[in-house]
């Protein structure tokens, strides 16, 4: 191996967790290689639609029917429109095997899905970390909130999180920039819930937007969020957190980052004689030529399901079933979030109020079911989003001046409200990802996905419909309607698990520092590491996990203790 292929650390993936690994290693002086299977996307330079007007899109931001026919899975994603489709993986180009329906939404480029995420950032609490031990499903997390609290603070300060300090045990407060505002009906509903329920709360959802940039954000070259709500196009202001606007450029400024794009990771190389992983085998996305890179520590951050695929494909004499997979559990106990439930209604009154501009988030109802004790016929619980709005009524009648006058005379409709659920699903041994016999164009096995809803999920949807309908009714809302989208798992884009953390090497793959039990110099800090899913959006936890794990890895490397 030549010096050009030797690094101090290798990071697989440049998304939210991979970007943080790159930042942390390079800041600490480590020559770091980041491998990204997709193309390069540079902040500002590679956001081709970010400033386009609606009429500048050939199809007015709609997806042509031919694309819908070729790519039915990705077309189900709410953000897959003409202005952002270039940041999504096409079904036709990257197939996978669905043993049961599963909508796998991916972003193969520098930054990954950090360009596309919904930017919701809620901390976990001990109610979440202690859930499996308390309820008896999955295995006990090897960490608790006290282990993560300082790291949540660390990443929040750098990323920039807006929010209120709400004082809720179930949703710990963080290092917040000033919040954006709820509108009048959202504020009204918050008051009605507080009046009618002691254990339920409506808060402003914490989100990764710069409401008031601090010096560290300006140093990153980022500016205040402009409330454009065009985030999926890439933000020219850096108003929301992404790898592209934040961690990757920060790492590049150190001079310690080597970023290789179009680099499809085939496997992690394990040296039987040395008893450790020594590097990574990479295929050029275009030429298919193989290259090997080497480092004493490797972070696998390819996004949850691809991380499972890479590790399962990393076989050796020592690990014939996948790197670190002595117990045969790799690819099992995968879970996701349940976003099927919706409740809508109408709100009388507030006719003298309208809302001006746009907000990057809405109200949020933290989990209240089975929090302190088991109280329902299903395990765990759900959080919920809540938003209110009213639409303009346009009068298109008339010709000439009459038409102009009608169009200029804006009238407003009544207020409507809506909520969607974010339910926890239970990791099960039968929920799996595995390697199929079919191969992709790089000769790698296709990923085979076998997941489905269960009876617990159905009961949770029913309870969400009942409880939110009751909350709406107590607030005086009218015409309350419930809906179950019946969408396949995966469309929540919160797949987790398969390489789960735990205390016992017999029942888990990773220890409390995210190291493979059986191969200590390989770390996993993306969604694959999750032991359970809880109800919060997971990306903030991935950031905190990664910063904490890199800190540990560096200390162990300096002691020579990673073998």
Token readout for 527 is: 């969604």
Confidence of residue 408 (pLDDT cuts 50, 70, 90): confident
At residue 65, the 3 state secondary structure works out as helix
Confidence of residue 1 (pLDDT cuts 50, 70, 90): very low
Token readout for 248 is: 């990757």
* Per-residue three-class SS string for 225-272: CCCCCCHHHCCCCCCECCHHHHHHHHHHHCCCEEEECCEEEEEEEEEC
Residue 66 within a domain:
no
CA angle 410, 79, 152 (to 5 degrees): 110
Q: For residues 523 and 17, what is the distance between their CA atoms, to the nearest angstrom?
A: 12
Q: For residues 451 and 336, what is the distance between their CA atoms, to the nearest angstrom?
A: 9
Strands 519-524 and 298-300: parallel
What does the pLDDT look like over 26-45, one tens digit per residue?
999 999 999 999 999 999 99
Residue 125 within a domain:
no
Q: For residues 1 and 223, what is the distance between their CA atoms, to the nearest angstrom?
A: 43
What pLDDT, on a 0 to 100 scale, did the predictor assign at position 317?
97
Q: For residues 343 and 70, what is the distance between their CA atoms, to the nearest angstrom?
A: 32
Other Cβ atoms closer than 10 A to 430: 11
Residue 99 within a domain:
no
Residue 247 within a domain:
no
State how many domains the chain has. Answer: 1
Residue 409 within a domain:
yes
What does the pLDDT look like over 412-469, one tens digit per residue?
899 999 999 999 999 999 999 999 999 999 999 999 999 999 999 999 999 999 999 9
pTM for this entry: 0.96
Residue 368 within a domain:
yes
Confidence of residue 392 (pLDDT cuts 50, 70, 90): confident
Q: Which domain holds residue 184?
A: 164-205+337-424+453-488
Average pLDDT estimate for 185-201? 97
Q: Which percentage of the chain shows pLDDT scores above 70?
A: 99
Mean pLDDT taken over the chain: 96
Instruction: Give which of 552, 268, 288 is closest to 440, Cα–Cα.
Output: 288
What does the pLDDT look like over 337-361, one tens digit per residue?
999 999 999 999 998 888 766 788 8
Residue 274 within a domain:
no
Confidence of residue 2 (pLDDT cuts 50, 70, 90): very low
Is 196:213 a contact under the CB 8 Å cutoff? Answer: no
Q: Cα–Cα distances in Å, from 103 out to 89, 312, 331, 528, 543?
A: 12, 21, 17, 17, 24
Other Cβ atoms closer than 10 A to 456: 18
Concatenate the DSSP letters of all residues of 80-119 into one string.
Answer: -STTTGGGS--TTTS--EESS--------BTTGGGGT---
Residue 484 within a domain:
yes
């Amino acid at each position: 191996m030549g010096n050009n292929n030797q690094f101090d650390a290798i990071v697989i993936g440049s998304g939210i967790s991979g970007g943080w690994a790159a930042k942390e290693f390079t800041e600490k002086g480590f020559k770091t290689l980041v491998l990204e299977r997709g193309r390069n996307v540079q902040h500002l330079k590679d956001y081709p639609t970010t400033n386009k007007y609606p009429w500048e899109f050939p199809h007015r931001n709609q997806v042509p029917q031919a694309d819908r026919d070729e790519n039915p899975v990705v077309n189900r994603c709410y953000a897959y429109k003409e202005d952002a489709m270039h940041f999504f993986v096409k079904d036709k180009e990257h197939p996978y095997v669905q043993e049961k329906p599963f909508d796998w939404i991916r972003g193969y480029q520098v930054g990954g899905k950090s360009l596309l995420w919904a930017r919701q950032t809620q901390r976990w609490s001990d109610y979440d970390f202690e859930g499996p031990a308390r309820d008896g499903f999955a295995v006990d997390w090897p960490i608790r909130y006290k282990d993560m609290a300082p790291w949540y603070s660390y990443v929040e300060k750098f990323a920039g999180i807006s929010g209120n300090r709400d004082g809720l045990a179930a949703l710990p407060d963080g290092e917040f920039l000033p919040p954006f505002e709820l509108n009048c009906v959202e504020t009204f509903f918050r008051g009605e819930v507080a009046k009618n329920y002691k254990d339920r709360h409506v808060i402003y959802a914490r989100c990764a937007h710069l409401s008031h940039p601090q010096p560290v954000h300006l140093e990153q070259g980022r500016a205040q969020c402009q409330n454009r709500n065009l985030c999926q196009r890439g933000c020219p202001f850096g108003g929301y957190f992404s790898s592209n606007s934040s961690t990757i450029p920060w790492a590049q400024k150190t001079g310690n980052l080597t970023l290789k794009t179009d680099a499809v990771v085939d496997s992690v190389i394990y040296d039987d004689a040395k008893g450790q992983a020594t590097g990574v085998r990479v295929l050029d996305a275009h030429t298919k030529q193989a290259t090997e890179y080497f480092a004493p520590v490797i972070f696998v951050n390819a996004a949850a399901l691809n991380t499972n695929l890479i590790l399962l494909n990393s076989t050796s004499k020592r690990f014939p079933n996948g790197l670190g997979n002595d117990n045969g559990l790799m690819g099992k106990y995968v879970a996701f979030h349940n976003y099927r439930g919706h409740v809508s209604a109408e709100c009388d009154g507030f006719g003298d109020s309208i809302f001006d501009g746009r907000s990057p988030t809405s109200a949020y109802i933290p989990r209240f079911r089975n929090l302190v004790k088991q109280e329902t016929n299903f395990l765990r619980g759900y959080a919920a989003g809540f938003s209110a709005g009213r639409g303009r009524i346009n009068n298109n009648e008339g010709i000439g001046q009459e038409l102009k006058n009608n169009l200029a005379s804006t009238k407003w409709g009544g207020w409507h409200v809506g909520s969607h659920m974010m339910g926890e699903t239970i990791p099960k041994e039968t929920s799996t990802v595995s390697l199929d016999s079919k191969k992709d164009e790089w000769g790698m096995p296709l990923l085979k996905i076998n997941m489905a809803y269960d009876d617990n999920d159905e009961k949770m949807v029913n309870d969400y419909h009942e409880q939110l309908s009751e909350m709406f009714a107590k607030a005086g809302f009218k015409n309350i309607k419930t809906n179950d989208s019946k969408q396949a798992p995966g469309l929540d884009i919160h797949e987790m698990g398969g390489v789960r953390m735990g205390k016992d090497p017999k029942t888990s793959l990773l220890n409390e520092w995210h190291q493979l039990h059986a191969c200590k110099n390989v770390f996993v800090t993306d969604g694959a590491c999750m032991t359970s899913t809880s109800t919060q959006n997971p990306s903030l936890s991935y950031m905190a996990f990664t910063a904490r794990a890199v800190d540990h890895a560096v200390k162990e490397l300096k002691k020579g203790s990673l073998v």
